[in-house]
């Protein structure tokens, strides 16, 4: 039986959204060694729940499988601050005032899978909207923009609902291709801001629970 303390430590080490690389997994259907994935939780027996980039959803078993945590977004944004000004102009300087996120009635009422297809709603766009509403963000945030083939439908939805500003906190290696896709449709990264993740962590130094924040790229349409 795994203790509650170990479970909590695993959650702190691998928070939702963390990017990991597979080192070893003892399963015939395991993704190839080196496959990247995104953590979406830790269960009651200490398994780390990972959505692997190859489509696999196999869990990482505590004390059996081995993964490596990678691609901290703070590192990525530091790289952007150095490289993106060469491509898009200066960013990472002043924090801009972002527009308030408006309620989208269609997304409030959609429930069945068929309705997504009928109304041409991107799943990633929908979940970004629902999660942003749940947390009470002022602006739409995408924790997952998927692969290059998913970007078009996200952008189509952004244009359809008149969204001029949004953030991306996706930590995947596909983010650079995402930047290219958004650039083609006149959405450019303007700044790096901190957003509420909707989660909390324990501040041991001050002995209190605090909101968790993560860096995100702020996009605006030219």
Q: What is the per-residue pLDDT across 77-117, written as a single tens digit (0 to 9) for each?
A: 444 444 444 444 444 433 333 445 678 888 888 877 788 88
- Which residue do the tokens 């695993």 mark? 10
Q: Where in the chain is the domain with CATH 2.30.30.40?
A: 4-70
Instruction: Encode 2-32: b = buried (16+ Cβ within 10 Å), e = exposed.
Output: eeeeebeebbeebbbbbbbebeebeeeebbe
What's the rounded mean pLDDT across residues 131-153? Answer: 88
pTM, whole model, 2 decimals? 0.54
Integer Cα distance of 117 and 111 in angstroms = 11
Cα separation of 166 and 185, whole Å?
A: 14
CATH class, range 4-70: mainly beta
Residue with tokens 């399963």: 27
């Amino acid at each position: 039986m795994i203790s509650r303390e170990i479970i909590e430590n695993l959650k702190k080490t691998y928070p939702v959204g963390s990017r990991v690389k597979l080192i070893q997994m003892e399963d015939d259907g395991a993704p190839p060694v080196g496959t990247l994935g995104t953590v979406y939780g830790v269960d009651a027996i200490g398994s780390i729940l990972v959505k692997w980039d190859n489509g696999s959803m196999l869990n990482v078993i505590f004390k059996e499988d081995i993964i490596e945590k990678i691609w901290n977004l703070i590192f990525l944004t530091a790289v952007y601050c150095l490289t993106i000004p060469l491509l898009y102009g200066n960013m990472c300087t002043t924090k801009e005032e972002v527009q308030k996120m408006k309620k989208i009635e269609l997304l409030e009422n959609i429930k069945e899978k068929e309705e997504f297809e009928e109304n041409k709603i991107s799943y990633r766009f929908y979940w970004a909207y629902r999660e942003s509403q749940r947390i009470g963000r002022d602006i739409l945030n995408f924790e997952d923009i998927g692969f290059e083939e998913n970007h078009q439908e996200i952008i189509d939805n952004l244009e359809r609902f008149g969204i001029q500003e949004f953030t991306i906190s996706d930590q995947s290696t596909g983010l650079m291709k995402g930047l290219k896709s958004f650039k083609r449709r006149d959405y450019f990264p303007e700044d790096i801001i901190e957003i509420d993740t909707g989660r909390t962590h324990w501040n041991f130094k001050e002995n209190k629970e605090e909101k968790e924040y993560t860096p995100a790229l702020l996009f605006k349409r030219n």
